[in-house]
Structure 1
């Protein structure tokens, strides 16, 4: 006989761990299934830190969701006693011919969020770890910062455990079906389970579990680098805000030194057709290191000392760059969180609550209008 639960969550990374917690906290008998360890370094929920920010050049509609995720991060800290969110402020900067800063400014203005409008030279003067061209445009927003990403997964799982959830790691889902009784049956390499509802938060593997979404989701390889700062005092969390930069010599994001040695940052690679998550080249290459070092030497030369670390991660792009959230239109008991396009972890604290809303209430009051999954089925 299958083990029975109210709800099963596939994927216990950033979003899945949050969903398991929120579902269990609402009284549902919850099972989380993770094919790797908890936490692990095979997806996009590792690497010590993830940016959180109110500045949302992606779309002004992201700002209310960003405000909600800040509240949920602080609530999780209170619930678990862990320090997860560090405030540094955030810098969004770009060359003058880019719309990046204009888009960021629009999102902040629409929601009355305070910020400072700065030239590149003013950023450099205020934050000496930066070395932006004088003519670059930038916004500094004081509420931004970063979350300890592995710590956040652990905190959500600890809170889920305390609320009664069961989390099974190193257990791979082989298949799932809807039963004649309106439930969902999951077969893994270790057992069979049934539940009233299924939440799929499986990152780059979502398309394999839900084939109707596969063409809308493109897994992509990314690299994160850590370099030893030549002037370490300029890269502390008190003096170096997180950044998102669209430059003439590369686009990237970065953090002050935290937890592991080095100034951490990532650079967008040249466009590609996507990768197979089972066959991705996990080991960083010399070309990866060169791409990142050239970026740091251009915009953060005091941080461009010897390499202390490189690691790969997997993101999953959606066709339009926005998330896929909600109940699957073809499967009324299946609820999806996918296609975060490199921006999911910062929202994961609230996205677990969003998924719990769909399971328990059938919808959510959170601001996800831009992200509803129904849009990708509209043209089919």
Structure 2
């Protein structure tokens, strides 16, 4: 039976970042993935994700994002790929909108370059969109696009460069805790001093087998692309990424310029039906599609209000929307990374560093209080 310093289960962006950090430290590391790579069955596929520094509603992430940007830059240098593209991020809301006002306060407090605008200033900058005249608009100038597929590929390649081993197409069937941990897959058995579980939506299935029942659920997200009426009108040189909290029935809407598919703008609802990750395609998404058609028609009049392409992704949503980064309550050599709640990708570079620290019993670089499992003690079975 092969023995490793650390086995990381799950080769999505969080697990891959973690494995990369461990291999870079010289740890003998195995990265396990249940599907053949690359694949589109999890939460890390696709070409783009929004990134930003300001987190007015969860300011501890603003602190982490400062290092996340540096770590993405390091990955760019090591891989030779351009992963981040700065476009700025637009946020908008009324004077009593906690997210927009919190974002402005966060930008000011942390000295992040930004610009606030009233309606007329916004229309001069972005005449192709329409929002209420009493809204305040703010641009986080550090915001932009992470090239998701390139980031994941770069982690896998640099992980191998540092001596890491990837085994894909191997589903984990059983994890046997102990002074060292045994992992039984569909084709092999492995042993490691410690294990990191970064299994995305499958945390809802794997963690209960280890007597950890967390208040997390899996949502299927419709990734929608809308065709420009005038080609290039929403290109990266003219339009930023954007995020509107409480846009529809209390739910958030986000979007990116036409950067992935020629002439198609990505605008999505930050919510979806709850699903089983193994049968997500059976979910009824009628409400999401119809709702987004109305939203695009109202606020983006220069887009065709019928989605041109519909893809899917999954969020693993925690009750408080904070990440779960912690040791297993009974076995310190089993580390859990879960509940990324739709905003984990931008943080993945620094999350990998933290999970690697936990796996090697180093002192974490950040206050782990917001991420501990114990915070769910009232509604989790540990």
Same fold (TM over 0.5): yes
Match of 2:259 in 1: 258
Q: What does the per-residue CA deviation read over 1:202-235, in whole Å, with 9 as the maximum and x for residues that have no partner?
A: 0111132212443321111111101111133321
CA distance in 2, matches of 1:370, 1:108: 21
Q: What does the per-residue CA deviation read over 1:49-70, in whole Å, with 9 as the maximum and x for residues that have no partner?
A: 0011012133111111111111
Q: What runs of 5+ residues in structure 2 fail to find an aligned partner?
A: none
Query: Which deviates more from structure 2 when the two are superposed, residues 59-68 or residues 356-365?
Result: 356-365
Alignment of 1:216-365 (within 5 A): 216-246=215-245, 248-249=247-248, 251-261=252-262, 262-269=264-271, 274-281=274-281, 287-304=287-304, 307-365=307-365
Match of 2:203 in 1: 206
Match of 2:7 in 1: 8
TM-score by length of 2: 0.92
CA distance in 2, matches of 1:146, 1:24: 27
Cα 1:378–1:115 shift into 2, 3 Å: same
CA distance in 2, matches of 1:14, 1:84: 13
Q: Is the 8 A contact 1:172 1:188 kept in 2?
A: yes
Q: What does the per-residue CA deviation read over 1:283-306, in whole Å, with 9 as the maximum and x for residues that have no partner?
A: 885554322222211112213365
CA distance in 2, matches of 1:219, 1:259: 26
Alignment of 1:111-130 (within 5 A): 111-130=110-129
Q: Is the 8 A contact 1:57 1:100 kept in 2?
A: yes
Q: Is the 8 A contact 2:214 2:376 kept in 1?
A: no
Q: Is the 8 A contact 1:207 1:213 kept in 2?
A: no
Q: Is the 8 A contact 2:269 2:288 kept in 1?
A: no
Secondary structure class of the residue paired with 2:280: coil
CA distance in 1, matches of 2:175, 2:87: 43
CA distance in 2, matches of 1:325, 1:247: 27
TM-score by length of 1: 0.92
CA distance in 2, matches of 1:66, 1:117: 21
What is the Cα deviation at residue 247 of structure 1? Answer: 5.3
1:190 pairs with 2:197? no
Q: What runs of 5+ residues in structure 1 fail to find an aligned partner?
A: none
Report how many aligned residue pairs link the two structures. 375
Q: Is the 8 A contact 1:54 1:63 kept in 2?
A: yes
What is the Cα deviation at residue 367 of structure 1? Answer: 5.1
Cα 1:294–1:37 shift into 2, 3 Å: farther
Secondary structure class of the residue paired with 1:281: helix
CA distance in 1, matches of 2:75, 2:316: 26
CA distance in 2, matches of 1:131, 1:98: 18
CA distance in 2, matches of 1:148, 1:160: 18
What is the Cα deviation at residue 113 of structure 1? Answer: 2.1
Q: Is the 8 A contact 1:217 1:319 kept in 2?
A: yes
Q: CA RMSD in A?
A: 2.1
Alignment of 1:95-134 (within 5 A): 95-134=94-133
CA distance in 1, matches of 2:61, 2:268: 22
CA distance in 1, matches of 2:155, 2:128: 33
Q: Is the 8 A contact 2:144 2:241 kept in 1?
A: yes
Q: What does the per-residue CA deviation read over 1:123-143, in whole Å, with 9 as the maximum and x for residues that have no partner?
A: 232123322222112211111
Alignment of 1:142-157 (within 5 A): 142-157=141-156
What is the Cα deviation at residue 43 of structure 1? Answer: 1.7
